Amino acid sequence: MNKSAKIAELRHALARYGLPPDRPAVPLGEPRADAVLGGGLRRGALHEVFAQGWGGGGFALLLALRLTAAGGGPLFWVRSDYAALEYGAAAPEGIAALMPSLDAGPPVVVRVAGGADALAAAADILACPHVGCLLLEMEGNPRLLDLTASRRLALAAEESGVGLILLREGAHQDPSAAHTRWLARAAPSRADDDDWGNPRFAVELVRHRLGGLGNFLMEWDPQTGLFVDPLRLRLPVGRLAPSVVSATSPSDALMRMRGRWA
Amino acid sequence: MLQQRRIMALWLPRLPTDRLIRKSGAPEAPLVVSGRANNALIIHALEARAEKLGLYRGQPLANAHAMVQPLNVVPADEKADAALLENIADWCDRFTPLVSLDAPDGLYLDITGAAHLFGGDQAMLKDVLAKLSAQGFAVRGAIAGTSWAARALARHQTNALARGGSGFIVPPGGEAEAVASLPITAFDCDAKILRALSHAGLKTVGQVAARQSSELAERLGIQFVRRLLVMLGQAEEPLAPRRPLPDLMAEQRFADPVTSREAIASTLLALAQSLGGLLERQGQGARMLGAAFFRADGKVDRIAVRAGAPVRDPTIMLRLLNQKLDALADPLDPGFGFDLVRLEALLAETTSPATVSFDANENARRQVRFLIDRLSARFGEHRVLRFVPQDTHIPEAAAVAVPAQDSDFDATWPRHQRPDDPPRRPCRLLEKPEEIHHVMADTPDAPPVRFRWRQCLHHVARAEGPERIVLEWWSKDGPTRDYFRVETREGQRFWLYRDGLYRRNGLGPRWYLQGIFA
């Protein structure tokens, strides 16, 4: 190896010094979705969630919590005054109940006056590699959230490795630089479930830079902080003995759920 | 040794008329400002021309009308005068950070240790008076060791020779001698005391000072003696500064006002470096930073930024300031240029000397805190929020949002529910519960079967409740709320409550939607 190549390598290593190491994929828990995503959701990339009705915002929040858990810093939630009025203000007690094991402290909510401020705040937050995740909430299809702006967001996230979820409320799909794009809406709980009420969503992965798409039904398990596939639970669990369930599906989440369903 | 204080007192005897003349030029007829005293109109202030014609302050207005025709009379506007005095005080900030109001028409400047910057007491007083006169104010001033001595001399020293045209300066320790010949009105105390003094045959401050202080205290009160001692320079009275005094500051004056952005930026950098050096020497960091830009024409622009943790690194201080400057609604306008820029550590805190930490966690936390500082500087501290749990059952009061800068970083949230339960509290709460309509329920106590909210009809597929939340007994007429967790056929999960008990007051209960579950 010649000298200049070595210097270049050292320089590269120095430039990366202090930054978090290369980002592995963060598994969502639902096995089919994880398989499609190639192991899970990547930090340091732009993921868009288009909310379809009231459930979509919850799905984006849960994705952000997943990424926050993998990131180590606090969750930043940037939203406009209008969004807080229209879709409800962040309620810390409820958010904590969604993932009791999360140890990142209460989220930091940045309330901005409008879209331009939201993008400016996002740029600042994405520049700090120690942020757990940024949940950026945008309303409608503002002109300033164009392809350039979304590419800028994606690049900033890539550079620092911060998780980035862009929640689009009341918006139609438009071109963007997103790594993945999800359409999310709430799904009803299981009909015969007494202990109903875990967040459950019907989501559609309509765009994915690196692979396949798909439709998924996902249920959030607050205890593990992971999504599970409720259909897989529904079919056998009611009738089969618990031991069989654990044999066919050894997932950790399922093991834990077993007691409740048997 | 304690430094001998030096106080400059300024008196603007014609502030109300000066204000009017500065605004709309001198009128044809002599100008007087009328005020009310004992239910009669009197002259509150008057310009020099009117005074030459024999009018005086406190003269009944009818009397003045009889003496001078025509006379231009304007009613007094004390609010405008007070605002103008504040502006003048702002302008005086360039000479010293400790400026105190002597309402309604005077100012004190504590120039201890500052006079040498302006070429000594004499030159400084001359400078201040000249600049104020150039702006159209009648002004008189004096410098002495205590506020009351300077004040009495500024207001009551009528001997033109002694004042030398440019104010009066008392050498340190010479207060008693300087005020001795002033009339007793210099005490500026109420008429009863003045009458008592003149009945006793005392006409000057010197004569009063010659009396036993115990005798004076018995007759006129201890307050009066205290004032006398201050006037004689034998006691000190602290000045009340108009704004909090900075703990540390660095400033840069310009002989030629600067206007260019680059010059201002480099000045700020240099100031941040010297302030950082000062902080370092004291082992302190700034929790609040202020920058003041003094425009040559008298306007003063101030900004202040807070930091979540003490800072002393010049580049960090500069970034915080720049963030604030960029976020200003009306950007910094140099106009004819700034002739003084000052950087202040308004609140300094002791920091541990080793601020470099090799603990990666600590560094990460510091960077996040700095990020929160920057966001707060940019958008305002009330827009960057964290939540603090409150000890109450009322859902909307269970958490208050506080500026993230103030919140403890390691705070954790108390968790009320069992970990394997589905969430019992929504993750989004409407800021104000919204009433839902067309509520259908099977039985009076049952949850709704369907309801209309924001023009959408929702069919409830399942519901859990009621969870009764009673407002605290000590808060008045607290209604009872029965909360239900409901899921619609589409799977949307809402948090509803019934306000009040069913049919207690002859009306049906009202239903509200308060939260949205994930």
Of residues B4 and B179, the one with the higher pLDDT is B179
Q: Is B346 on the interface with A (CB under 8 A)?
A: no
* Pairwise CA distance, residues B198 & B220, whole Å: 13
Residue of B nearest to A79 (CA): B383
Considering the domain architecture, whether residues A167 and A260 belong to the same structural domain is answered as no
Residues of B in contact with A108 (CB under 8 A): 372, 384-386, 404
Q: A256 lies in a domain?
A: yes
CA-based nearest distance A11→chain B, Å = 21
pLDDT in tens, B233-252: 888 888 888 887 888 888 88
Which chain B residue has the Cα nearest residue A71? B364
Q: Same domain for A236 and A170?
A: no
Residues B461-512: tens digit of each pLDDT = 989 888 888 776 666 666 678 899 999 998 999 999 888 765 555 567 788 9
A88, B374: Cβ pair inside 8 Å?
no
Among chain B residues, the shortest Cα distance to A118 is held by: B379
Q: To the nearest 10°, the Cα dihedral for B413, B416, B417, B419? A: 40
All residues at 6 or more sequence positions from B406 whose CB lies less than 8 Å from its CB, including other chains: B308
> Does B404 lie at the interface with A, CB-CB under 8 angstroms?
yes
The reported pLDDT for the residue numbered B412 is 59
Rounded Cα distance between A58 and B493, Å, is 10
Q: Do A73 and B412 touch (CB under 8 A)?
A: no
How many distinct helices (H) and strands (E) make up chain A?
A: 10, 12
CB-nearest partner of A105 from B374, B410, B421:
B410
- Judge whether residue B407 has pLDDT over 50: yes
CA distance B488 to B492: 5
Co-location of A32 and A74 in the same domain: yes
A245 domain residue, yes or no: yes
* Interface touch A186/B490, C-beta < 8 Å: yes
Q: Are residues A214 and A104 in the same domain?
A: yes
Residue B196 three-state SS: helix
Q: How many CA atoms lie less than 13 Å away from B463 in the CB half-sphere?
A: 21
Q: Do residues A190 and A246 both lie within one domain?
A: no
B349-B354-B360 Cα angle (round to 5): 110
B54-111 pLDDT, tens digit per residue, is 888 888 888 888 888 888 888 888 899 999 999 899 889 888 888 988 878 899 999 8
| B106-141 residue pLDDT tens | 999 998 888 888 888 888 888 898 888 888 888 888
The rounded Cα B199 to chain-centroid distance in angstroms is 45
Q: How far apart are CA B512 and CA B426, in angstroms?
A: 14
Kindly list the domain boundaries of chain B, sorted by start residue: 1-243, 248-361, 428-516
**ω before B314 within 30° of 0 (cis)?**
no
Whether residues A102 and A150 share a domain: the answer is yes
If you compute the radius of gyration of chain B from its CA atoms, what whole number of angstroms results? 33
Q: Is residue A191 part of a domain?
A: yes
Please provide residue B148's backbone torsions phi and psi, each rounded to the nearest 5 degrees: -70, -35
- Among B446, B471, B476, smallest CA distance to B460 is for B446
Using only C-alpha atoms, what is the Rg of chain A? 20
CB contact under 8 A, A117 and B386: no
**Inside any domain, residue A17:** no
What does the angle CA B273 – CA B276 – CA B281 come to, to the nearest 5 degrees?
Answer: 130
**Token pair recorded at residue B128:** 């201040």
Distance from C-alpha of A89 to C-alpha of A81, rounded to nearest angstrom: 9
**In-domain check, residue A64:** yes
B411 touching chain A per CB within 8 A: yes
Phi first, then psi: what are they for B260, rounded to 5°? -75, 150
Chain B residues whose beta carbon lies within 8 Å of the beta carbon of residue A131: 368, 371
Nearest CA in chain A to B377: A121
Residues belonging to chain A: 262
Tell whether B28 is within 8 A of chain A (Cβ): no
Nearest Cα residue in chain B from A253: B420
Q: How far is it, in rounded angstroms, from Cα B373 to Cα B318? A: 12
Residue type, A143: R
Cα gap A64→A137, rounded to integer Å:
12
- Partner residue opposite B383 with nearest CB, options A105, A111, A128: A111
Domain membership of residue A261 as a residue range: 229-262
Instruction: Report if residue A44 sits inside a domain.
Output: yes
CATH number at residue A47: 3.40.50.300
The verdict on A211 and A246 lying in the same domain is no
Predicted pLDDT at A119: 93
Sorted by sequence, the CB contacts under 8 Å of residue B11 that are 6+ apart come out as B105, B106, B139, B140, B141, B151, B154, B155
Residues pairing with A217 in the sheet: A202
As a whole number of angstroms, the distance between CA A63 and CA A47 comes to 9
For residue A80, give how far its alpha carbon lies from the nearest alpha carbon of chain B (Å): 10
Which pair of structure tokens corresponds to residue B119? 């070429």
Choose among B368, B383, B399: nearest Cβ to A73.
Answer: B368
As a whole number of angstroms, the distance between CA B7 and CA B92 comes to 13
Pick the CATH number of B1-243 from 3.30.70.270, 2.60.40.3470, 3.40.50.300, 3.30.360.10: 3.30.70.270
| Cβ–Cβ below 8 Å for A108 and B425 | no
Nearest CA in chain A to B430: A88
Is the C-alpha dihedral spanning B90, B96, B97, B103 positive or negative?
A: negative
- Is A55:A147 a contact under the CB 8 Å cutoff? no
Same domain, A182 and A235: no
- With contact defined as beta carbons under 8 Å apart, do B46 and B32 qualify? yes
**For residue B310, is the peptide bond before it cis, meaning its omega torsion is within 30 degrees of 0?**
no
pLDDT of the residue at B451: 92
Predicted confidence pLDDT, tens digits, chain A (262 residues): 578 888 877 876 765 554 444 567 899 999 999 999 888 898 889 999 999 988 889 999 999 999 998 887 889 999 999 998 999 998 888 888 888 877 777 889 999 998 899 999 999 999 999 999 999 999 999 999 999 999 999 999 988 889 999 999 999 999 999 999 999 999 998 877 777 888 999 999 999 987 789 999 999 988 888 998 887 655 444 433 333 333 333 344 444 444 344 3
- Inspect the interface and report whether the beta carbons of A96 and B413 lie closer than 8 Å: yes
Is residue A11 one of the residues assigned to a domain? no
Closest CA to B153 of B177, B179, B127: B179
Q: Distance (Å, rounded) from C-alpha B322 to C-alpha B404?
A: 20
User: What is the reported pLDDT for A39?
Assistant: 86
Please determine, for residue B312, whether its predicted confidence score (pLDDT) is greater than 70: yes
Name the B residues in 452-511 with CB < 8 Å from any A CB: 461-462, 464, 485, 487-494
Read off the tokens for A196.
């109903």
Q: Please name the residue that has the structure tokens 């009863």.
A: B192
Closest CA to B235 of B226, B244, B223, B243: B226
Mutate to test the interface with A, among B387, B400, B415, B483 (most CBs of A within 10 A): B387
DSSP string, A50-118: EE-STHHHHHHHHHHHHHHHHH-S-EEEEEEHHHHHHH-EE-HHHHHHH-TT--S-SPEEEEESSHHHH
**Beta carbons of B126 and B140 less than 8 angstroms apart:** no
Q: Cα–Cα distance between B154 and B171 in angstroms, integer?
A: 15
Residue B27's CB is within 10 A of a number of other CB atoms, namely 14
CB–CB of B412 and A105 under 8 A? Answer: yes
Query: From residue B310, how far is each of A78, A128, B287, B306 by CA, in Å?
Result: 26, 19, 5, 9
CA nearest neighbour of A240 among A214, A209, A219, A261: A261
Mean pLDDT of chain B: 84
Residue B322 contacts by C-beta under 8 Å, 6 or more apart in sequence? B268
CB contact residues (below 8 A), chain B span 140-159, against chain A: none
The Cα A58–Cα B517 span in angstroms is: 7
B369 touches chain A (CB under 8 A): no
Task: Determine contact, residues B218/B241, Cβ cutoff 8 Å.
Answer: no
CA distance B41 to A226: 81
A130, A247: one domain = no
Is residue B325 pLDDT above 50, yes or no? Answer: yes
* CB-based contact B425:B515 (threshold 8 Å): yes
Q: How far lies B399's CA from each of A93, A199, B47, in Å? A: 8, 22, 60
Is pLDDT at B399 greater than 70 in this prediction? yes
Contact A199 B423 (CB under 8 A): yes
d(C-alpha B423, C-alpha B435), whole Å? 23
User: Which residues in A lie closer than 8 A to residue B364 (C-beta atoms)?
Assistant: 72-73, 130
Same domain, A92 and A173: yes
Letter for the amino acid at B170? V
pLDDT of residue A236: 43
- The reply to whether residue A195 touches residue B411, judged by beta carbons under 8 angstroms, is no
Are the Cβ atoms of B411 and A106 closer than 8 angstroms? yes
| Residue B10 near residue B154 (C-beta atoms within 8 A) | yes
Note the helical H segments in B143-204: 147-156, 160-163, 175-179, 191-199
Which residues on chain A are in Cβ contact (under 8 Å) with B368? 73-74, 128, 130-131
Measured between beta carbons, the chain B residues lying within 8 angstroms of A197 are 422-423, 464, 485, 487, 493, 517
Burial bucket for residue B17 (CB in 10 Å: 0-12, 13-18, 19+): buried
Residue A109 in any domain: the answer is yes
CB A132 within 8 A of CB A165: no
Lookup: tokens for A256: 């834990």
Indicate whether A222 and A261 sit together in one domain: no
Half-sphere exposure of B208 (CA within 13 A, CB side): 31
Residues of A in contact with B427 (CB under 8 A): 58, 61, 90-91, 94-95, 97-98
Q: What are phi and psi of A226, to 5 degrees?
A: -135, 160
* For chain B, percent of residues with pLDDT exceeding 90: 10
Q: For the structural domain made of B248-361, what CATH number should be given?
A: 3.30.1490.100
Q: Is A142 exposed, middle or buried (0-12, 13-18, 19+ CB in 10 A)?
A: middle
Q: Where are the beta strands (DSSP E) in B331-383?
A: 338-350
B406 or B201, greater pLDDT: B201
Do A114 and A87 share a structural domain? yes
Tally of structural domains, chain A: 2
Q: By mean pLDDT, which of A256-260, B222-226, B320-324, B388-392 is the weakest?
A: A256-260
